[in-house]
Amino acid sequence: MRIEVIHPKDGMKYLICVMALVASMCSAALAGDFEDAGTLFNNKNYIGAAEAYRKAAEQGNAPAQYQLGAMYYHGQGVQKDYGEALSWYRKAANQENALAQVSLGIMYINGQGVKQDYAQAVSWLRKAANQGNAMAQANLGAMYDNGQGVKQDYAQALSWYLKAANQGDDLAEVNLGMMYVNGHGVAEANQDAVLWFRKSAEQGNALVELNLGLMYDKGQVGVPQDYVQAAYWYRKAAEEGNPLAQFNLGFMYDKGEGVTQDNQQALFWYRKAAAQGNAPAQYTLALAKSNLQSDAQERPVAAINEVLAEGRLQFERSDISRNIPSCATCHGADARGRTNAPLLAGQNAAYIVKQLNLMAKQFRNSRTMHGTVTELTRQDAVAIAEYLQSK
Ligand code: HEC
């Protein structure tokens, strides 16, 4: 179980003019183009910035080549074009531009504009990592961790994660925490794991905050169950607009877990989540399953029946096109469980939704279930959960 680090931080732009470092190659006019481009970029004049970067890039300026590549990659000021991105990144990378090297590595990992090639990715990441680039170090660590493009080597993974984490890379910090949870390359040590998870979450990455909340909520991945802590981290992610965190926080107010029970707060967070299309929140509001509405008359019966029918279908049939097997084959047609697969009938719907989510994200380590549940949409999960609860 691990969290992969494979994406460059969005919008990451280094607009530092490094002309001084490559003075022999640069004329004053060139430096002017590069600086102009930075100003234009900061003013969100992307078309102008792309043109200015192109001028400098065509004359061999490596930071400009990187920037132009990034603009092609994101489709800013130019038509998005991975081929062009790759070509400009490569020019800059060959001039030892670390940002271009890591970007190139990531394109090889993702197979963007080029055939996926982990060995090539590792080679570019290593160059940038050796120059001290934290994102490259984090990604190189992940390649060693996963054994992609390089022989799996936890000691190497640990060492690169540490280098990146010591520079404050939030995703490396999470992965480092996972090394401690799994005892990979280090002795298993939950306290150390939590320490790194918290360090990462404290940087304000909503996804990491959400996941730390999930860990405390279920008492998993090396942290003791603690609803107060769960609510604390959910709130952070919820305030940053993460819909699942908003739903979970609403749920905690609804049930009075980790917070004082408060219907108004529960409603507030459910509505926020629902407005972002969070299906559990929408259903919770619509079905009035919580104690928020006492009037049973208001339950939309048709909507309930529709959801239950949908859930039953999902549970019983396999969906070959999406590679989702029939849940009934393992859990039994009546959902009463068999050999290893647990009883599901009658379990709380919100609990089931949460379990499916945890297993999909691999925060609940279940080898059998992981492959099955990653393809489920949230709506599928809610429908199945409502159906199971009703049985
Ligand atoms: C190949 C067999 C298999 C299939 C198919 C399967 N499951 Fe499971 N499921 C398991 C096993 C085994 C566990 C127990 C895993 C564990 O506890 O780590 C489990 C656990 C669960 C749990 C957690 C139950 C709890 O009490 O915490 C839920 C929920 C669940 N499965 C739902 C589903 C749904 C929904 C589907 C269909 C989309 C499905 N499963 C398909 C084998 C399977």
Q: Specify the residue for token string 């984090």.
A: 138
Q: Report pLDDT for 232.
A: 95
Mean pLDDT of 138-166: 94
Q: Which residues are CB-contacts of 302 (< 8 A; sequence separation ≥ 6)?
A: none
pLDDT over 90 (residue 148):
yes
Does the CB atom of residue 352 touch ligand 1 within 6 A? yes
Query: Contact, 304 vs 349, CB < 8 A?
Result: no
pLDDT in tens, 343-359: 999 898 888 888 887 88
Q: Which residues are CB-contacts of 104 (< 8 A; sequence separation ≥ 6)?
A: 86, 89, 90, 93, 124
CATH number, domain 204-297:
1.25.40.10
Cα atoms in the Cβ-side hemisphere of radius 13 Å centred on 204:
3
Q: Cα–Cα distances in Å, from 151 out to 112, 143, 250, 390?
A: 23, 9, 45, 49
Q: Specify the residue for token string 């959960």.
A: 385
Q: Report pLDDT for 123.
A: 97
Instruction: Out of 365, 372, 386, give the residue to mutate to test ligand 1, the one with the largest number of ligand atoms within 8 Å of its CB.
Output: 372
Nearest CA to ligand 1 atom 2: 330
* Closest-CA residue to 350 (of 289, 292, 307, 261): 289
Higher-confidence residue of 48 and 204: namely: 48
Higher-confidence residue of 260 and 254: namely: 260
* CATH number, domain 1-146, options 1.20.1070.10, 1.25.40.10, 3.30.70.141, 1.10.3720.10: 1.25.40.10
Q: Report pLDDT for 92.
A: 97
Nearest CA to ligand 1 atom 16: 366
- Tell me the C-alpha distance between 208 and 214, whole Å: 10
Q: Indicate the residue type of 354.
A: K
* Domain with residues 300-390, CATH architecture: Orthogonal Bundle (1.10)
The number of beta carbons lying within 10 Å of the beta carbon of residue 197 is 27
Mean pLDDT of 198-209: 83
Query: Contact, 135 vs 8, CB < 8 A?
Result: yes
b/e burial code for range 240-269 (CB count within 10 A of at least 16 → b): eebbbbbbbbbbbbbeeebbeeeeebbbbb
Q: What is the whole-number distance in angstroms between the Cα of residue 331 and the centre of ligand 1? A: 7
Does the CB atom of residue 48 touch ligand 1 within 6 A? no
Q: Report pLDDT for 304.
A: 64
Q: Do domains 1-146 and 300-390 have the same CATH topology?
A: no
Q: Which residues are CB-contacts of 203 (< 8 A; sequence separation ≥ 6)?
A: 168, 170, 173
* Confidence grade of residue 71 (pLDDT, cut at 50, 70, 90): very high
Q: What is the whole-number distance in angstroms between the Cα of residue 342 and the centre of ligand 1? A: 7
| Residue 344, both tokens | 């599901």
Does the CB atom of residue 176 touch ligand 1 within 6 A? no
Query: Contact, 121 vs 149, CB < 8 A?
Result: yes
Query: Contact, 85 vs 79, CB < 8 A?
Result: no
pLDDT over 60 (residue 204):
yes
Q: Specify the residue for token string 């305030």.
A: 239
Mean pLDDT of 100-106: 96
Q: Report pLDDT for 221.
A: 65
Does the CB atom of residue 377 touch ligand 1 within 6 A? no
- Tell me the C-alpha distance between 130 and 279, whole Å: 45
| Residue 16, both tokens | 């530092």
Domain range summary for the chain, segments of one domain joined by +: 1-146, 204-297, 300-390
Does the CB atom of residue 346 touch ligand 1 within 6 A? no
Q: Indicate the residue type of 258.
A: G
Question: DSSP of 34-89, one letter per residue?
Answer: HHHHHHHHHTT-HHHHHHHHHHHHHTT-HHHHHHHHHHHHHTSSS---HHHHHHHH
Q: Report pLDDT for 382.
A: 82
Does the CB atom of residue 382 touch ligand 1 within 6 A? no
Does the CB atom of residue 369 touch ligand 1 within 6 A? yes
Question: DSSP of 76-129, one letter per residue?
Answer: SSS---HHHHHHHHHHHHHTT-HHHHHHHHHHHHHTSSS---HHHHHHHHHHHH
Q: What is the whole-number distance in angstroms between the Cα of residue 372 and the centre of ligand 1? A: 8
Question: How high is the mean pLDDT of the chain?
Answer: 81
